Homo-oligomer: A and B are copies of this chain.
Amino acid sequence: MVVMSTVSFAQQSLFGGEQIVSPEIHDDNSVTFRLNAPSAKEVKLAGEWMPAEGWTPGAVTMRKGDNGIWSFTTEPLEPELFSCSFIIDGFRTTDPNNPFIVRDVASVMNIFIISGKHADLYKVNDVPHGTVARRWYDSQTLGKRRRLTVYTPPGYENSSEKYPVLYLLHGAGGDEEAWITLGRTAQIMDNLIAQGKANPIIVVMPNGNVIQDAAPGEGTDGFYKPQFMIPKTMDGTYEASFPDIMKFVENNYRVKANKENRAIAGLSMGGFHSLHISRYYPNMFDYVGLFSAAILPNQDVSHKVYHKFDETLKTQMENGFELYWIGMGKTDFLYESGKQYCAKLDRMGMKYTYRESEGGHVWRNWRIYLSEFAPMLFK
C-alpha cells in the first residue's frame, strides 16, 4: 500500500503563510493588527474607525517589536464592518494575514466585523440562507449579454409561491458585485427574514454601467484597471434600458409582476438611477429608496429620460406609491442637494420619508439604509 500521510500536504511555505494572526479581535472589541516587515522604516494602519481626512481614511503609526513585527492595538471599537489597510513606507497595501478583502473600483482593502447591534446583520449567522446567483440576461436595448446578481430568499426553490422584487442599484465605480460584497445584501436579507423583520423577497443587483457587460474581470473586456467614472453611466441610457432587466426577471423568476410588489433603490449614482427610472416609468414601483442619492442630472446631458422632470415626477406622485424613502448622512457632500430635493418635493406636495444619519457618503450608511429600508417593503 502506498501511504499518503497528511505530512505530505504540509505545504504552507507554498502559500507564504506567516504564522501571524491579524487582525485579532479581543473580547472587549479592541483589535490588534500585526505585520511582519522587519526592513520597513515606518508602518501605518489606516482604518475606517478613525476620523477621515476628506476621502482618505484616518491612519495611525504602528510600533515595531524586537522580532521585526509591527503591531498596534486599537481602543475598543463599536460594532461595524470596517475596512482597513497598511501603509508601509508610504506604500498602501493589504494585510497578508487577512485574506478577507473587497474591491472598490480599482482598490482592494481588508475587511473585518466587530459583532453586535446592527453589525450582527452583516454576519453569516446560523439561519436559513438564500441563494446568490450570477446570471446573464440579453439586453435587447443595449444589444449585448449582461451580468446581474440575484438574491433569492430561503425556500424560494422549494415553493411555488411568487415573490416581490427589490431592484438594488450600485453607485459610480460599482457594478453588480458591489451590493453583494461591500453591501452585505445576502447576509442582511437572510438575517432580517430570519428575524421576521423583512418579507422574503428577491433582490436583483444589476450592472448600471452600460458600456460594461459585467464587473471588471467578469466580462468580455477581461482584466483591466477599473476607473471610477466611466462613460454613459448617467446619460439616460441605463434608465431607458431598465425594462430589459425587469422583463428578464419577470420571465425567469416566480415574481409578483405588479407595481405593488416592485421596489427600486440605490446608493449615490444608483439613487440617481432609482429616482429617474421610477419617474420615467411612473407607474412601475410602489417603493423607492434614495440612499445618499446624487439627485439631479448633469445639465449637459440631453437624453429624453431627463426631459419633463417635474411633469413625470408629478405623474408618479398622482399614480400613487407606498414609500418614497430618502436617506442621507449629515456630513455627505451631497447633503445640500438632498435637502433641496426634499424642498422640491415639499413644494409639489409629494410625500416622502426622510432619514438623516451620522456620517457621510460611505458604505457604512448604505448597509444601514438597506437594513432599515427592506423591513418597510411590501407590508
Specify which chain B residues have a CB less than 8 angstroms from the CB of A36 in the assembled complex: 91
Residues of B within 8 A of A106 (CB): 15, 17, 97, 99
Asked if A88 is at the interface of the complex by the 8 Å CB criterion, the answer is yes
Of listed A124, A135, A220, residue having the most chain B CB within 10 A: A124
Pairwise interchain contact A108-B126, C-beta atoms closer than 8 A? no
Q: Does A11 contact B (CB under 8 A)?
A: yes
**Chain B nearest CB, measured from A34 CB (Å):** 11
- Chain B nearest CB from A275 CB (Å) reads 11
Which residues of B lie under 8 Å from residue A129 when comparing CB positions? 136, 145, 147
| A92 on the B face (CB < 8 A) | yes
Q: Which of A278-286, A292-300, A346-354 contacts B (4 or more CB under 8 A)?
A: A292-300
Interface size on A, residues (CB 8 A): 94
Say how many copies of this protein the assembly contains: 2
Q: Kindly identify which residue among B104, B226, B269 contacts A9, using a CB–CB cutoff of 8 Å.
A: B269
Give the chain B neighbours of A147 by CB distance below 8 A. Answer: 129
Q: State the CA gap A214–B125 with chains docked (Å).
A: 12
Closest chain B residue, CB of each to CB of A132: B134
Determine the residue in chain B with the shortest Cβ distance to A187. Answer: B218
Minimum CB–CB distance for A103 against chain B, Å: 5
Which residues of B lie under 8 Å from residue A225 when comparing CB positions? 21, 97-99
How far apart are A141's CB and chain B's nearest CB, in angstroms?
18
Q: A39-B91, A98-B225 are in contact. List 17 more A-B contacts (CB 8 A).
A: A1-B299, A2-B340, A4-B296, A4-B334, A9-B294, A15-B228, A37-B91, A94-B94, A96-B108, A97-B225, A98-B223, A100-B217, A112-B223, A125-B220, A126-B220, A128-B145, A157-B252
